[in-house]
Chain A
Amino acid sequence: MVKRIFAIVFILIIGFWMAKALDQVPFGQDRMLVGKYYLEHVKEETGAVNAVTAVVVNYRGFDTLGEVTVLFIASTGVAALLWRKKRKRTAKTEGSVVLTTGARLLLPFIMLFGVYIFIHGHLTPGGGFPGGATIATAFLFLYLAFTVYEVDHKIFEPLEGLAGVGYVTVGLIGLAIGGYFLFDWIWQTWGIGKENIGRLLSAGFIPIIYTLIGIKVGTELTGIVDNMIKEPEEGGQ
Chain B
Amino acid sequence: MNPYYFASIALILIGLYAILAKRNVLKMLVGLSIMETGVNLLLISVGYVSGRSAPILSEGITPDRAVDPIPQALVLTAIVIGVATTAMALSVVINLYEKYKTLNVEEIRRLRG
Which residues of A come within 8 Å of B, CB atoms? 3-4, 7-8, 10-11, 14-15, 18-19, 22-23, 25, 27-30, 32, 34-36, 38-40, 42-43, 49-52, 54-56, 60, 63-64, 67, 70-71, 73-75, 77-78, 81-82, 123-125, 127, 129, 133, 198, 217, 221, 224, 227-228
Q: Are A124 and B56 in contact (CB under 8 A)?
A: yes
Which residues of B come within 8 Å of A, CB atoms? 1-2, 4-5, 9, 12-13, 16-17, 20-21, 42, 45-51, 54-58, 63, 66, 68-70, 72-73, 76-77, 79-81, 83-85, 87-88, 90-92, 94-95
Cβ 8 A contact of A35, one of B20, B68, B94: B68
> Which residues of chain A are near B47, meaning CB under 8 Å?
35
Q: Are A14 and B13 in contact (CB under 8 A)?
A: yes
For the residues of B in contact with A, the DSSP-based class is: helix
> Which residues of chain A are near B91, meaning CB under 8 Å?
77-78, 81-82, 227-228
> Which residues of chain B are near A124, meaning CB under 8 Å?
56
Q: What distance in Å separates the Cβ of B27 from its nearest Cβ neighbour in chain A? A: 13
For the residues of A in contact with B, the DSSP-based class is: helix
Query: In the complex, A49 Cα to B62 Cα: how many Å?
Result: 11
